[in-house]
Chains A and B, each alone.
Chain A
């Protein structure tokens, strides 16, 4: 059974720091991996989607990498800002692309201090 783990559970950094959030998964047979952002009391917003054939995706100050063989993904946030404070979740879709088995990690709660 696929399990997705995110470490650390919480992270506090001063504004301006570059930071890395980690996501690991136990079954490397995935279709894709997504990173989401969730603000308190809100739904999830998709940040980056990496297909299994890709190694990384970039959007603005965000860069996500994928290493299927080691079962790891990282989300790199450059020059962090207080507005980046949120919970970040990763999720994997199992091989075969069945949209019924998207498995989420429990998230990393990020706090960026001014």
Chain B
């Protein structure tokens, strides 16, 4: 079972460049999330989606945009990358909220020079 798949797994960008991280889940989950994980800061929620066509801001949304055009995909975009966005990004999904269990992808390591 694929579960939650993130692409790419590694990427190096120069300041000002743009890129998109793709998250795909094959579990028919309604909820999807993007987190970033930084040393000493733990996991912080960037954006999330409660269903196809919907998105909402999390704790640290500035500098990021997201889209959920298809239920199985959740895209995270950086329009103009900054060194402060160097991080490991995790996508997660969950079924309807009454179970609450999260399923995570393996992460995407982004370095902005």
A interface list, Cβ under 8 A from B: 31-32, 34, 36, 41-46, 49, 51, 89, 91, 93, 97-102, 104-107
The complex places the Cα of A45 from the Cα of B99 at a distance, in Å, of 15
Contacts of B104 in A (CB 8 A): 36, 43-45
B residues with CB within 8 A of A: 4, 31, 33, 40-45, 48, 50, 56, 58, 90, 92, 94, 97-107
Q: What 9 pairs across the A-B complex have the smallest Cβ distances?
A: A43-B104, A106-B42, A104-B43, A44-B104, A43-B106, A32-B100, A97-B97, A99-B31, A104-B42
Could you say which residues of chain A place their CB within 8 Å of the CB of B4? 43
Q: Is B105's CB under 8 angstroms from A34's CB?
A: no
Of A31, A34, A98, A106, the contact of B102 (CB 8 Å cutoff) = A34
Residue among A43, A49, A89 having the largest count of chain B Cβ atoms under 10 Å? A43
Residues in B whose Cβ lies below 8 Å from that of A104? 42-44
Give min CB distance, B71 to chain A, whole Å: 15
Given A100-B45, A104-B42, answer yes or no on A43-B101 (Cβ-Cβ < 8 Å).
Answer: no
Offer 9 A-B interface pairs, CB within 8 angstroms, sorted by A. Answer: A36-B104, A41-B107, A42-B107, A43-B104, A44-B102, A46-B101, A99-B50, A102-B33, A106-B41
Q: Which residues of A contact B41 (CB under 8 A)?
A: 106
A42 touches B106 (CB 8 A): yes
B58 touches A100 (CB 8 A): yes
CB closest chain-A residue, reference B47:
A100
Contacts of B98 in A (CB 8 A): 97
Q: Taking the nearest CB of chain A, how far is it from the CB of B91, in angstroms?
A: 9
